[in-house]
Amino acid sequence: MGLGRKFVFGAVLMVAGLALSAGGCALQRLPNVSKEITGPPASPPVLAAFQSDPAIITQQDWQERRAPLLRIRFQSEIYGAMPEALGFEIVSREVLQKPEKGAIGTIERITIALKTSQLGPWTGGRPVVDMILMTPKGKGPFPVIAGGTFCGNDVLLPKQSGTRTADMALPPECGGDAPEFLIKAIFGLHANAPPWETLAEKGYALASWHPGDVVPDVPLVAEPHLKALTPIGTPPDQRTGAIAAWAWTTSRMVDVLSDDPRLDPKRVMLWGHSRHGKAALLAAAFDPRPAAVWALQSGTAGAALGRDDVGEPVADITSTFPHWFAPAYKAYAGKQADLDVDQHQLIALLAPRPVLIGTGRRDQWGDPHGSFRALKGADPVYQLFGMPAFTQSKLREPEDKGVLGFYMRPGLHGIHTEDWDEALSFFDRTAPKASANGPISGLKP
């Protein structure tokens, strides 16, 4: 076989391998979903009586009675116990790129040690995370878009040395040594790296880290880390799951960002794709500080309703990714209708903050329709907070009003320029105004 042929053959094998290793994801489920909204409304109705808690009438009822009850239930049935929040310590800061001529801004690596109540299996007894922070040129304080990266910091800025310091296990979905062009061809131009230049031009800072620094995304490897993060006294079937650990990590990153005088603590926006979209939603459901969330193709245990038979079933997600959840979640495999909570209630915990849900029309695993119905199901809580009703009737793109937004672009599971364009125009429109020093260039006043 000539070299060229060998390469094509190798590439085909790699594509097939990547497609299969993507954990049963959308590549195997190619048909488009309907353009018309299908499926029943979310249940239970978000304001109805829940367990022994009577129906919700006021904002105060929601905040004081229902929200705490739901947080307990989401932990015990799905995600496992949230680790305790004990703060952080900045171990080092290193400027990787100065804001010189031609550079988009300043790029730094901030190494952060997270405090936990227990000694974990980490070097020095605590998890250490490398955050890569880009601040644009100009005068802040800047709004910041923050989220976990899928395959480690070294693929964030391929031409920038020194982005990765930690040595973490990567999930097989990262494709081993698959060349960047193949990853981009399958999972989109921004599969590994957000559009740095566009963000800087628009006046946004960007914070990225690798959640695998805290809990590696590999089932058996994750287990000791999860046990070490689980608060003492937690029943074993509620041990912290990786999604909860990553959400907790996100909150610690919000601690760091909120302390940085160059950034605006009132404008820390979270984002995440797929498993990291699940973590971004969960983080904001437990932490009131994130100003807005964009969850892209977050699917089961993310934005998609889970009590029906559409999208990725509980049986699949808990057997492929047992480390993501509380062991208790597995009990709902094949009987997800027995769950008494669903994802519209999780989204409602973010009210009244803006939420954008992105989906792909061929990503049946990610369940676009169930995600749309989840937003609709959360809407009564947003209305309780005085937000305009979610009246969007088309799946294709968000209506330019309100703080709940949904879009369904063509295509599969991945991160494309179109996704970032949708997210940036949503954040431009809905993010709170600058809390000091006047408006930021590129943002609507």
The one segment of 18-26, 66-74, 195-203, 334-342 that binds ligand GCU by CB under 6 A: 18-26
379 lines the binding site for ligand GCU (CB under 6 A): no
Q: Determine which residue in the list 300, 336, 343, 359 makes contact with ligand GCU, applying CB under 6 A.
A: 300
Among positions 11, 17, 21, 23, the unique one binding ligand GCU when judged by CB under 6 A: 23
Number of residues that bind ligand GCU (CB under 6 A): 11
Q: Which is nearer to ligand GCU, 324 or 426 (CB)?
A: 324
Q: b/e map of 320-346 (b: 16 or more CB within 10 Å)? A: ebbbbbbebbeebeeebeebebbbbbb
Strands (E) across 223-299 are located at: 263-273, 292-296
Could you say which of 27, 205, 303, 317 contacts ligand GCU (CB under 6 A)? Answer: 317
Starting at the edge strand that comes first in sequence, how are the strands of the sheet with 205-209 ordered? 88-97, 105-114, 128-136, 205-209, 142-148, 263-273, 292-296, 355-360, 404-409
Does 275 help bind ligand GCU (rule: CB under 6 A)? yes
Minimum CB separation of residue 61 from ligand GCU in Å reads: 33
- Out of 76, 274, 336, 364, which residue is the one contacting ligand GCU (CB under 6 A)? 274
Of residues 182, 183, 202, the one with CA closest to residue 192:
183
- Strands 205-209 and 128-136 turn out to be antiparallel
Q: HEC states along 167-229? A: CCCCCHHHCCCCCHHHHHHHHCCCCCCCCHHHHHHCCCEEEEECHHHCCCCCHHHHHHHHHHH
Could you tell me the smallest distance in angstroms from the CB atom of residue 44 to ligand GCU? 23
Cβ proximity to ligand GCU: between 275 and 409 the closer is: 275
Position 336 contacts ligand GCU (CB under 6 A): no
Contact 161, 95 (CB under 8 A): no
Under the criterion CB under 6 A, does residue 25 sit at the interface with ligand GCU? yes
By CB under 6 A, residue 296 contacts ligand GCU: no
- Return the residue of 11, 17, 19, 24 that touches ligand GCU, per CB under 6 A: 24
Q: Which residues here bind ligand GCU, judged by CB under 6 A?
A: 22-25, 274-275, 299-300, 312, 317, 365
